[in-house]
């Protein structure tokens, strides 16, 4: 039976596990424990090694690949895992992950220029929400209302895209369907990878459920309305 070793960033491990089919018996290691991953590769000599693309193209990825190559494993295939257009896939190591910048949503541009406020319900700054998920990939929730949310996503989201969102909660995640209202590309000099700041509107969710959720996980004071 084929043995596959997967090495991924800890915050992407669950999303990659659920979204990328891997053949045979699979051993998974976070990038925070590369020593164990290398020892397992040396001892088990897998036929396939899959490396998270975000880690691969970061500061320590190339050196990790060199260490694998120095083991001179017979018949091993190295692939990277990337998240592209809403899906996880495996591609060769030398393929750079896509970095596609969409055109700025004109509705967002107009709102920013005019200083207008389009909010239909009070928004609350997130206080203690653990890792949320959108279409199998982790997102960071910035603020939340009974109608929608502002989130940070590394995978690109396009306006009008439908996404499945899981908000973590003590009794199990709250599962929602949302529509992307706007998406803005951001690349900050102090951050290694770009991301997308996204505004989404929830579809058909019971507002009482989100009212209670906001009370448990958000700051009590609503965000001020811009004039």
**pLDDT tens digits along 107-121:** 444 444 444 444 568
In this prediction, residue 37 has a pLDDT band, given cuts at 50, 70 and 90, of very high
The side-by-side arrangement of strands in the sheet containing 48-52 is: 25-30, 3-8, 48-52, 77-84, 87-91
**CB neighbour burial string for 120-136, b if at least 16 within 10 angstroms, e if fewer:** eeebbebeebeebbbbb
What is the pLDDT, as a whole number, of residue 120?
A: 64
Domain at 106-222, CATH class: mainly beta
215 membership: H or E segment, kind and range: helix 207-217
Q: For 89-103, give the DSSP string.
A: EEE-TTSPPP---PP
**Annotated domain spans of the chain:** 3-91, 106-222
User: Across residues 210-221, what is the average pLDDT?
Assistant: 91
What is the pLDDT, as a whole number, of residue 129?
A: 86
Whether 8 shows a pLDDT value over 70: the answer reads yes
The encoded tokens of residue 194 equal 């770009």
**Do the Cβ atoms of 4 and 23 come closer than 8 Å?**
yes
Fold exhibited by the domain 3-91: Rossmann fold (3.40.50)
How far apart are alpha carbons 227 and 219 in whole angstroms? Answer: 22
Could you give the residue ranges of the DSSP H alpha helices within 178-226? 207-217
What is the pLDDT, as a whole number, of residue 99?
A: 57
User: Across residues 82-111, what is the average pLDDT?
Assistant: 67
What is the pLDDT, as a whole number, of residue 110?
A: 46
Check: pTM over 0.85? Answer yes or no.
no
**Do the Cβ atoms of 177 and 203 come closer than 8 Å?**
yes
């Amino acid at each position: 039976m084929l043995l596959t070793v997967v090495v991924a960033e800890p915050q992407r491990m669950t999303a990659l596990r659920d979204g990328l089919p891997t053949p045979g018996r699979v051993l998974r290691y976070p990038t925070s424990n590369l020593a164990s991953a290398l020892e397992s590769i040396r001892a088990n000599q897998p036929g396939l090694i899959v490396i998270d693309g975000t880690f691969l193209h970061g500061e320590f990825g190339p050196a990790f690949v060199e260490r694998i190559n120095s083991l001179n494993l017979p018949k091993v295939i190295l692939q990277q895992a990337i998240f592209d257009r809403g899906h996880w896939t495996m591609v060769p190591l030398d393929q750079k992950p896509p970095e596609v910048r969409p055109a700025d949503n004109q509705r967002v541009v107009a709102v920013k220029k005019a200083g207008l406020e389009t909010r239909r319900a009070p928004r609350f700054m997130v206080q203690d929400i653990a890792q949320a998920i959108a279409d199998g990939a982790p997102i960071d929730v910035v603020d939340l209302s009974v109608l929608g949310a502002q989130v940070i996503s590394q995978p690109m989201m396009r306006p009008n895209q439908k996404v499945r969102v899981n908000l973590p909660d003590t009794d199990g995640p709250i599962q929602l369907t949302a529509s992307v209202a706007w998406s803005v590309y951001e690349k900050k000099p102090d951050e290694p990878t770009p991301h997308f700041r996204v505004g989404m509107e929830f579809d058909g969710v019971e507002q009482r459920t989100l009212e209670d959720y906001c009370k448990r996980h958000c700051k009590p004071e609503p965000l001020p309305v811009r004039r």
